[in-house]
């Protein structure tokens, strides 16, 4: 069985900065250390990192084929020709579709949309959706967050006389679809400065450039509506940017450069949004505070939209964002939130089942985790794989049952898998080594999907482990400590300064702060079912509260290994007083926090990791 307590290997970043840099930044020494460790070591870089405006955004015409696509769309919009948007079933696809439909319909375009069914269609535009477009007399198809690999379906559309504009952000294959225009910043000839924008940002850029060329936005990258734009009813850029910011967080692209600017500008808009769908989903998800952070987008609101695509139809999410009826929005939002609750339950049940199976059968010498789960919805196996990867720090594939049809239309029992990886294990490359036993596969370095015949499952597992390039050191998670800060020195000023780092996410993580030789005075179980631990900590004569929201058993087991079970009992006994010399000591990795009760503020340490 794999050890459930994976100990992280920490390294320490530089802790020294000059007084001159501290003075230039105008923040504390501690904050300057954190910024310098992110490469922000000049005043110019500091301003770029902390100050944003629409001028921080790159001009949309820098994207290859942008003006070609917009010139054609100008003609088709003016002529009221039928335009069909084809999106994707995740948050990025939903937001991309919303931007394009909203942006085009606002100026009178004859526009409709469709999104593939995750189970029936799979990813991206396909022949069924193309056939429907032909049947509906569509003259222009615009894909968003997909299409760059859809060579055959888009050939059919082009052969039928449909003008296709692909807007995508994924890696282009060797053979590109032959369509009217492809807008994807990752094309080899494209010189767009930011290569990691999401699909919704590409869609946003398309509408911005279209509006500029039609005279609805000022053509100076100010994104201000002209008199003509206002009279036409063109969408204000903020109405569209909020969806691009939402998708940027949820699609887990690097929150650097333009992406950081987009999210930073979108968050204030989302907090005061007038979009009825966004207001309704906040209510349905019980996000009562007007404050919306990147965390809320990624872990509270975003999953509600993703659940639509996983368990029902992603078109529900688009309908919610486009609807202008309060009652209908409330109904759709409650439905989406309900789907997310069901998704959570299926994920928890599936993860628990996977862990129990691994305890029974797993060979700890195997570097790759593979687990087969019966009767688990295929739309949640990727989430389960991610949970297991985080818990055990190994590349993980979760398999479940599915069916495929042969040339005669007969159903063939198959297994479908979704994988999530760690650094050092390129999932796509490793699956390519096993392609002789696979029916199909796809993905990238850190995530992949595959289909395999049941009779080839065992052989696939053998190949994945035999071919694995991972060493024992690769299977040890590693983190760098940004700053050593005694918990006794946490201050309100420093907590406020940490807001400079936001929005945090991919490639811009929250700072890792640590302290050592902390006296632990007491343990207390907290929460409705007493599953979390509050620790009373003492450093330099100052007492501070520490909160740990991970698995309490992990902390207890680590404590027992050093101090024994009897001492653990004393730590939980509120009436037992240890003298100063008897107090156990801990090292913690934490986030500084602040609690306010009855107008009194007290500092806290939100503990991410602890050992004794």
Do 456 and 485 belong to one domain?
A: no
Residue 36's contacts (CB-CB under 8 Å, 6 or more residues apart) are: 14, 17, 21
Domain termination site, one of 456, 475, 494:
475
**Is the domain of 98 the same as that of 176?**
yes
Cα 487 to Cα 539: distance, rounded to the nearest angstrom: 7
537 neighbors 294 (Cβ within 8 angstroms): no
42-46, 121-125, 218-222: least confidently modelled range: 218-222
State the CATH number of the domain containing residue 567.
2.40.50.140
588 lies in which domain range? 479-611
pLDDT tens for each residue of 73-105: 999 999 999 999 999 999 999 999 999 999 999
pLDDT tens-place string over residues 428-449: 899 999 999 999 888 888 888 9
CA 508 to chain centre: 13
Has residue 346 been placed in a domain? no
471 shares its domain with 560: no
In a domain? residue 507: yes
Residue 323's H or E segment, with its range, is: none
User: What is the distance between the alpha carbons of residues 199 and 466, in angstroms, rounded to a whole number?
Assistant: 37
Work out the average pLDDT over 500-506: 93
The answer to the question of residue 595 being in a domain is yes
Same domain, 498 and 452: no
Q: Is the pLDDT of residue 406 over 80?
A: no
For 221-235, letters b (16+ CB in 10 Å) and e give bebebbeebeebebb
d(CA 460, CA 371): 12
Q: pLDDT over 90 for what percent of the chain? A: 84
Domain assignment of residue 294, yes or no: no
The secondary structure of 23-47 as a DSSP string is: HHHTS-HHHHHHHHTTT--SHHHHH
Largest distance between two CA atoms of the chain: 84
Interior CA angle at 347 toward 344 and 353, to 5°? 140
In a domain, residue 532? The reply is: yes
415, part of any domain: yes
Cβ 101 vs Cβ 318: under 8 Å = yes
Whether 345 is in a domain gets the answer no
Q: pLDDT tens for residues 228-258? A: 999 999 999 999 999 999 999 999 899 999 9
Q: What's the whole-number average pLDDT of the chain?
A: 94
User: Which pLDDT score is estimated for 349?
Assistant: 95
- Do 105 and 141 belong to one domain? yes
Q: What is the DSSP-derived secondary structure letter of residue 411?
A: E
pLDDT value at position 179? Answer: 98
Question: What pLDDT score was predicted for residue 334?
Answer: 98
Residue 378's alpha-carbon distances to 122, 159, 293, 343, 384, in angstroms, are: 11, 34, 30, 11, 10
- Compute the half-sphere exposure of residue 472: CA atoms within 13 Å on the CB side of its CA: 2
Lowest-confidence pick of 297-306, 344-353, 591-600: 591-600
Which secondary structure element, helix H or strand E, spans residue 524, and what is its range? strand 513-526
Q: Are 247 and 266 in contact (CB under 8 A)?
A: no
**Which element (helix H / strand E) includes 206?**
helix 199-214
Average pLDDT for 497-504:
95
State the pLDDT at residue 4. 65
From 475, 507, 527, give the residue that closes a domain. 475
pLDDT at res. 15: 83
Residues 556 and 438 reside in one and the same domain = no
- Can you give the CATH number for the domain in which 401 is found? 3.10.310.30
Q: What is the CATH number of the domain that holds 124?
A: 3.90.1640.30
The reply to whether 452 and 556 lie within a common domain is no
State how far the Cα of 82 lies from the Cα of 141, in Å rounded to an integer. 9
pTM of this structure: 0.91
Query: Which of 263, 206, 230 has its CA nearest to residue 85?
Result: 206
Cβ-contact 394, 369 below 8 angstroms: yes
Q: Give the pair of three-digit tokens for residue 335.
A: 């439905």
**Per-residue pLDDT, 54:** 92
- Asked if residue 203 lies in contact with residue 63, where contact means CB atoms within 8 angstroms, the answer is no
Instruction: Examine the domain organization and report whether 185 and 65 are in the same domain.
Output: yes
Counting the structural domains of the chain, the total is 3
Cross-strand bridge partners of residue 418: 398, 449
Q: Taking a C-beta distance cutoff of 8 angstroms, is the pair 486, 437 a contact?
A: no
- The predicted pLDDT at position 405 comes to 74
Model pLDDT, residue 120: 82
pLDDT in tens, 322-337: 999 999 999 999 999 9
Residue 212 and residue 149 in one domain: yes
For residue 503, whether the previous peptide bond is cis, meaning omega lies within 30 degrees of 0, is yes
**Same structural domain for residues 490 and 587?**
yes
Distance CA 253, CA 209 (A): 23
Q: Is residue 538 part of a domain?
A: yes
pLDDT digits (tens, 9 = 90+) for 152-203: 999 999 999 999 999 999 989 889 999 999 999 999 999 999 999 999 999 9
Q: Supply 83's token pair.
A: 């335009």
Q: Do residues 506 and 539 share a domain?
A: yes
Give 3's pLDDT tier (boundaries 50, 70, 90).
low
- Retrieve residue 69's tokens: 């696509």
- d(C-alpha 90, C-alpha 303), whole Å: 9
Please give the average per-residue pLDDT across 383-410, as a whole number.
89
Q: Calculate mean pLDDT across residues 577-582.
A: 90
Q: Taking the alpha carbons of 119, 125, 127, 132 in that order, is the dihedral positive or negative?
A: positive
* Model confidence at 603: pLDDT above 70: yes
Q: Both 110 and 231 in a single domain?
A: yes
What is the Cα–Cα distance from 466 to 366, expressed in whole angstroms?
9
Write down the pLDDT at residue 257: 94
pLDDT tens, position by position, 17-53: 999 999 999 999 999 999 999 999 999 999 999 999 9
Backbone angles phi, psi at 150, to 5 degrees: -90, 65
In angstroms, rounded to a whole number, what is the distance separating the alpha carbons of residues 272 and 279? 9
Pick from 442, 475, 508: which residue ends a domain?
Answer: 475
DSSP 8-state class, residue 582 = G
């Amino acid at each position: 069985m794999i050890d459930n307590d994976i100990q992280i290997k920490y390294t320490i970043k530089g802790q020294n900065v000059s007084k001159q840099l501290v003075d230039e930044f105008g923040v504390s020494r501690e904050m300057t250390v954190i910024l310098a460790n992110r490469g922000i070591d000049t005043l110019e870089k500091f301003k770029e990192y902390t100050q944003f405006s629409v001028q921080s955004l790159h001009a949309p015409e820098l994207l290859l084929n942008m003006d070609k696509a917009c010139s054609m769309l100008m003609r088709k919009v003016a002529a009221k020709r039928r335009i069909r948007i084809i999106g994707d079933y995740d948050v990025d696809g939903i937001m991309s579709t919303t931007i394009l439909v909203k942006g085009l319909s606002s100026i009178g375009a004859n526009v409709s949309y469709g999104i593939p069914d995750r189970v029936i269609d799979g990813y991206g535009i396909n022949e069924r959706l193309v056939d429907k477009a032909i049947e509906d007399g569509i003259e222009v198809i615009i894909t968003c967050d997909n299409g760059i690999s859809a060579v055959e379906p888009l050939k059919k559309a082009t052969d039928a006389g449909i003008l296709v504009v692909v807007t995508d952000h994924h890696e282009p294959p060797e053979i590109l679809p032959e369509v009217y225009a492809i807008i994807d910043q990752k094309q080899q000839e494209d010189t767009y400065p930011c290569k990691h924008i999401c699909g919704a940002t590409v869609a946003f850029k398309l509408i911005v450039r279209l509006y500029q060329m039609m005279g609805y936005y000022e053509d100076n990258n100010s994104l201000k509506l002209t008199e003509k734009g206002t009279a036409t009813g063109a969408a204000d850029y903020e109405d569209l940017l909020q969806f691009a910011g939402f998708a940027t967080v949820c699609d887990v692209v690097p929150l650097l450069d333009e992406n950081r600017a987009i999210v930073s500008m979108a968050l204030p808009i989302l907090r005061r949004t007038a979009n009825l769908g966004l207001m309704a989903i906040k209510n349905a998800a019980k996000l009562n505070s007007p404050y919306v952070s990147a965390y809320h987008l990624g872990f509270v609101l975003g999953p509600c939209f993703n659940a639509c695509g996983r368990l029902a139809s992603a078109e529900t999410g688009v309908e919610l964002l486009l609807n202008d009826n309060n009652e209908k929005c409330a109904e759709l939002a409650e439905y989406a939130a309900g789907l997310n609750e069901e998704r959570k339950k299926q994920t928890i049940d599936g993860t628990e089942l996977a862990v129990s199976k691994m305890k029974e059968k797993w060979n700890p010498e195997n570097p790759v985790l593979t687990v087969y789960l019966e009767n688990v919805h295929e739309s949640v196996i990727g989430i389960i794989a991610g949970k297991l990867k985080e818990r055990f720090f190994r590349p993980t594939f979760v398999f479940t049952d599915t069916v495929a049809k042969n040339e005669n239309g007969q159903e063939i029992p198959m297994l479908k898998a979704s994988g999530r990886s760690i650094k050092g294990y390129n999932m796509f490359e490793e699956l390519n080594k096993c392609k002789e036993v696979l029916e199909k596969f796809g993905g990238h370095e850190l995530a992949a999907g595959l289909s395999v015949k049941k009779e080839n499952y065992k052989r696939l597992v053998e190949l994945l482990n035999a071919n694995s390039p991972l060493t024992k050191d690769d299977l040890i998670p590693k983190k760098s400590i940004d700053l050593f800060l005694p918990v006794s020195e946490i201050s309100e000023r420093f907590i406020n300064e940490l807001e400079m780092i936001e929005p945090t996410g991919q490639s811009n993580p929250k700072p890792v702060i640590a302290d050592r030789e902390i006296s632990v005075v007491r343990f207390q179980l907290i929460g409705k079912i007493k599953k979390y631990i509050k620790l009373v900590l003492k450093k330099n004569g100052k007492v501070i509260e520490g909160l740990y929201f991970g698995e309490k058993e992990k902390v207890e087991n680590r404590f027992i290994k050093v101090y024994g079970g009897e001492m653990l009992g004393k730590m939980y006994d509120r009436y037992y007083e240890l003298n100063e010399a008897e107090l156990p000591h801990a090292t913690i990795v934490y986030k500084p926090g602040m609690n306010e009760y009855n107008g009194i503020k007290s500092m806290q340490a939100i503990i991410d990791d602890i050992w004794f």
